[in-house]
Amino acid sequence: MAPESIVDHRARAALEFCWADGARHLAEYRWLRSSCPCADCKALRAAQSGDSAGELPPAAAVHLTDIQPVGAYGVQFVFSDGHDRGIFPWTFLRELLDRRRVQHPCGASPEFVSEEAPMGRCSDAENPTRDGAH
Ligand SMILES: [Zn+2]
């Protein structure tokens, strides 16, 4: 269930996940940080919003400093704010990205969508087929 590849778009401060089923997601570092599933972050989210699974307000300029594989289980991100306890199981990460995609096409803000990194399914959604008839 691990993604086939992870592309680090450092200029965009985002990771691109490519999955075996063809799905692709773009996830900003700071969004990953705010979605950290560790016990500390869950407690923080629960305290702030009452929802331990929600997103924290995005940290201003958090970068990803390291990515450590955790066996076949998932991945551990090390963030520039020193937080390195967030282990994202692949299944959790995929669910998180899929769920977010419903609200945010491409799992990214619009400025991430460009010809430089076209997101297959998302560009389809942006250009709905027109029937031509008026
Ligand atoms: Zn955390």
| Residue 95 neighbours by CB under 8 Å, 6+ apart | none
**77 compared with 119, residue with greater pLDDT:** 77
Q: How far is the CA of 78 from the centre of ligand 1 (A)?
A: 10
Average pLDDT, the chain: 76
Q: Is 13 within 8 Å of 30 (Cβ atoms)?
A: yes
Q: How far is the CA of 90 from the centre of ligand 1 (A)?
A: 16
Strand (E) or helix (H) holding 33: helix 29-34
Q: How far is the CA of 5 from the centre of ligand 1 (A)?
A: 23
Q: CB burial class (10 A; 0-12, 13-18, 19+) of residue 103?
A: exposed
> Token pair for residue 47?
């305290």
* pLDDT tens by residue, 18-61: 999 999 999 999 889 989 999 999 888 888 877 666 665 555 67
Q: How far is the CA of 87 from the centre of ligand 1 (A)?
A: 8
Q: Which domains are assigned to the chain?
A: 5-123 (3.30.2020.30)
How do beta strands 64-70 and 24-28 pair?
Answer: unpaired
pLDDT at 45: 85
Supply angle C-alpha 5, 106, 86, rounded to 5: 55
pLDDT at 15: 94
pLDDT at 6 over 70: yes
How many CB atoms within 10 Å of residue 107?
Answer: 26
Q: How far is the CA of 106 from the centre of ligand 1 (A)?
A: 24
Three-state DSSP at 68 gives strand
Q: How far is the CA of 40 from the centre of ligand 1 (A)?
A: 5
pTM: 0.70
E strands, 13-97, in order: 14-18, 24-28, 64-70, 74-79, 86-89
